[in-house]
Amino acid sequence: MAQFGGTGGTWALMPSTWQASNHSWFSPEGSFTSSAYMTVETSALDLGSSKWFYPTTTCNTVNTSSSSTITVEYATSDDDITYSSYQLPQAFKARYIKTQVTISLDTTYEGISSVITEANFDTKFVTRTGLDTSALSGSTGSRTLDLSDELSKIFTMEATATSISDVVMPRVVLNTPYDLLQFSLIDMDSYGKVAIDTTINMVVNGFPAIETVASTGEVRTIQ
């Protein structure tokens, strides 16, 4: 059951006018100050076990417009008792997830009638060809490639050198932030297997990047 909050008050201070057709609270005067807001917190979604996933959310709103501002955040837990603080959309590892939607109210009868969040597990592949690793940030043995426009969580990387004289093995650092690819290239032909920079073709696998549409509250993958 969703919990509805008004402009920072308590249930006793909530407006008495209830609009049954969409189950949203409205001001008795029909208007809110520009600083007013409404929050909705969903019940927990149980994924069965702790696992990596990325959320997508659909908000059904009432009387919002292109100038409306809707923020969607998530809290996660492994035991349904202790939850993290609410965080913006990203890849998570958890068993339970709750969604909180905040809508900034203008002077119309705005509201939220439902919030639907799904956990997603599909991955995608991102490729780079002819990539000169020496041009990336960092230094030899520790290069970083920002893939935040394409991936929200990186799992694996495969790379081959374009030069037949180089046989490389990539070593990937999987840590936060999850959308930054941190890696080194090890020259397998060298004595001692030293780190090098070279030109490579690579394939990276991970969760797709996600974004929030502020006017609708939709959290979706970036195509």
pTM above 0.85, yes or no: no
Provide the pLDDT for residue 210: 95
Provide the pLDDT for residue 7: 42
Tokens of 124: 């995608």
Mean pLDDT, each 10-residue run in order, the chain (223 residues): 40 46 44 62 95 94 76 96 96 96 71 88 96 93 91 91 77 72 82 83 94 90 84
Asked whether the beta carbons of 26 and 14 are under 8 A apart, the reply is no
Provide the pLDDT for residue 2: 35
80-107 burial, b for 16+ CB within 10 Å, e for fewer?
A: eeebeebeebbbbebbbbbbbbbbbbbe
Provide the pLDDT for residue 109: 62
Provide the pLDDT for residue 31: 46
Provide the pLDDT for residue 94: 97
